[in-house]
């Protein structure tokens, strides 16, 4: 028996401002039924003694440890800049302020 009716699909489509043809309403009603049945099957298996998972394989952080390191020397950084002034980057003025 269908758990999602054609009228319910039409109502949700109207709320989402999606214009569906009559054949699409019938098709989506059936497809949504399959989804609801699949969720029900998973819910039967999901018991308190089964841990929740977000991925079928265990994942680990592949990033290096976040450890502070010494920065680049200011002179080396400013040497690569298009313009520098008083130990800082020199950029074009954009706000019209002095």
Span 19-71, pLDDT tens digits: 999 999 999 999 999 999 998 888 887 777 877 777 788 778 778 888 999 99
According to the model, what pLDDT value does residue 2 have?
Answer: 61
Which pair of structure tokens corresponds to residue 14?
Answer: 């109207």
Domains and CATH numbers, the chain: 6-45 (1.10.20)
Determine the pLDDT at residue 57: 82
> Quick one: DSSP state of residue 56?
S
Tokens 């308190």 belong to residue: 48
Please report where in the chains the tokens 């920065």 appear, as a residue: 71
Tell me the three state secondary structure of residue 84.
strand
User: What is the Cα–Cα distance from 15 to 13, expressed in whole angstroms?
Assistant: 5
């Amino acid at each position: 028996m269908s758990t999602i009716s054609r009228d319910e699909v039409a109502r949700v489509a109207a709320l989402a401002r999606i214009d569906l043809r009559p054949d699409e309403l019938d098709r989506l009603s059936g497809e949504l039924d399959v989804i609801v049945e699949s969720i029900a099957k998973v819910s039967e298996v999901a018991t308190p003694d089964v841990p929740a998972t977000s991925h079928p394989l265990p994942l680990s952080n592949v990033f290096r440890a976040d450890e502070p390191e010494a920065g680049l020397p200011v002179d080396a950084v400013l040497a690569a800049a298009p313009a520098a002034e008083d130990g800082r980057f020199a950029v074009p003025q954009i706000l019209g302020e002095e």
